[in-house]
Structure 1
Amino acid sequence: MTSPEPQSPAPQPPEPQSKDRVYRSAPAIAGGVLLLAIAGWLGIDAVTSGDGRTPWMALAVLLLVVPLVVAFTLRPAVYAGEDRLRIRNPFRVIVLPWGRIASLKSAYTNEVLTESGAKYQLWAVPVSLRARKKAARREMRATAQARREMGRDEGRGSALGMRAGLGGGLGGGPMSDGPVRADTDRIMDELRGLHEARHRAETAQGEVTVRWAYEVVGPAVAGALLVLILVMVG
């Protein structure tokens, strides 16, 4: 009697990959929801209570306006993964492997530059000069507070020397957390860190792909044509 052959172990499921980091603009989302609510309220009122061509014009305007509002407020997002950066802008989706990115720039807009010289704006990470000024003021206050604490420590004499000998000093003061940065500048710092860590990885190579968002462009163009036809018909 032959002994039964040993069964091979069941294949293990693949380890789950880390999820992408998602960056979006909270003020833009809030503004988009408000604009959609206003457009819906006015459009539904015109459709239900309007006379003649008014309901049709209201529907055409809604078909034009709603996709544009969604495109510029709710749609923009940046997905940062281990191997690539995916940018969802109002009318395009750009997928950039980390190995194809040359740099990430921050000036009046946040942009990604590829090795071929192409430039893509990050709509979901807008630059706020006001936020930068607020961060600079917080940094100045933190620096001033750290200097005041340093002056008090110097007046303590031997106590300061004991702290320095134990590795203390300013390391535990307000400046230990690093400079104060605006939210969008902090996001760009995180993206630069991912690029620096992953741009040489084998899995982070490939081609840049750009796809038009026809699900946004199509309805908007149709709405614009309907509005034009209704205006020409009179």
Structure 2
Amino acid sequence: MTSPEPQSPAPQPPEPESKDRVYRSAPAIAGGVLLLAITGWLGIDAIVSGEGRTPWLALAVLLLVVPLVIAFTLRPAVYAGDDRLRIRNPFRLVVVPWGQVASLRSSYSNEVLTESGAKYQLWAVPVSLRARKKAARREMRATAQARREMGRDEGRGSALGMRAGLDGGLGGDSVSDGPARAETDRIMDELRGLHEARHQAESARGAVTVRWAYEVLAPALAGAVLVLILVLTG
């Protein structure tokens, strides 16, 4: 009696590729939805109840305005993957492998600088000076609170002070896990960390590609031409 042949183990399914981190501006999306609702309401009302050339003019204005609103509010996004950074701006899609990224700069706008010297703005990660000032004030308050708690701990004696330092303060919460940062500044820190980790990877090499968003430009241009024709012939 022959022994049964050993069965080979079942093949394991491939591990799923890591998904891109997606960064978008929530205020821009909210504003875009509101603008589209107002524009659609006014435009459809003019088309339905307008007389003469009004419906055609309203249709032309909608064809011009709606793509532009989408381009500047809903469309911008930044996709950060293991090998590349995809920047979807209002009128262009830029793909930059991490190996081509020279630096990520934050001043009055957040930008990516490539090894060739090109510069691309991150529309989806806008700089908010107000948020930076708010984060700075929050950091100043946290520092002042930490100093007050440190003074109280020293007054309770060295033994209690050591215990308070280990436990994060007697009878109080931990003051801060780190410096307060604005949301967009934290996003840029994440992108810099990913760039630092992946810019030497073999799979992160390649050329920078730029593609124009014809799906936005074509209807907007058609709407502008139609508005111009209706105005000139009206």
Q: Letter of the aligned partner of 1:174 in structure 2?
A: V
Moved more, 184-193 or 152-161: 152-161
Deviation by residue 1:162-193 (Cα, 9 ceiling, x = unmatched): 438x85678x8413x11000000010000001
Aligned to 1:40: 40
Q: Is the 8 A contact 2:153 2:161 kept in 1?
A: no
Partner SS state of residue 206, structure 1: coil
Partner SS state of residue 112, structure 2: strand
1:1-234 correspondence runs (5 A): 11-160=11-160, 162-163=162-163, 173-175=174-176, 177-234=177-234
Percent of counterpart pairs with the same letter? 84
In 1, Cα distance between the equivalents of 2:101 and 2:45? 49
How far residue 8 of structure 1 moved from its aligned partner, in angstroms, is 6.5
Q: Is the 8 A contact 2:104 2:113 kept in 1?
A: yes
User: TM-score when scaled to structure 2?
Assistant: 0.92
In 1, Cα distance between the equivalents of 2:79 and 2:56? 39
Unaligned 5+ segments in structure 2 are none
Partner SS state of residue 51, structure 2: coil
Query: Structure 1 pair 226/148, CA: closer, same or farther in 2 (3 Å)?
Result: same
Q: Letter of the aligned partner of 2:211 in structure 1?
A: R
Query: Structure 1 pair 169/48, CA: closer, same or farther in 2 (3 Å)?
Result: closer
In 1, Cα distance between the equivalents of 2:39 and 2:141? 44
Moved more, 28-37 or 199-208: 199-208
Unaligned 5+ segments in structure 1 are none
Q: Is the 8 A contact 1:153 1:159 kept in 2?
A: no
The number of residue pairs the alignment matches comes to 230
Q: Is the 8 A contact 1:95 1:209 kept in 2?
A: yes
How far residue 92 of structure 1 moved from its aligned partner, in angstroms, is 0.4
Q: Is the 8 A contact 1:79 1:85 kept in 2?
A: yes
Q: Letter of the aligned partner of 1:225 in structure 2?
A: V
Q: Is the 8 A contact 1:146 1:173 kept in 2?
A: no
Calculate the aligned-residue CA RMSD, in Å: 2.1
Q: Is the 8 A contact 2:100 2:206 kept in 1?
A: yes
Partner SS state of residue 222, structure 2: helix
Query: Structure 1 pair 162/231, CA: closer, same or farther in 2 (3 Å)?
Result: closer
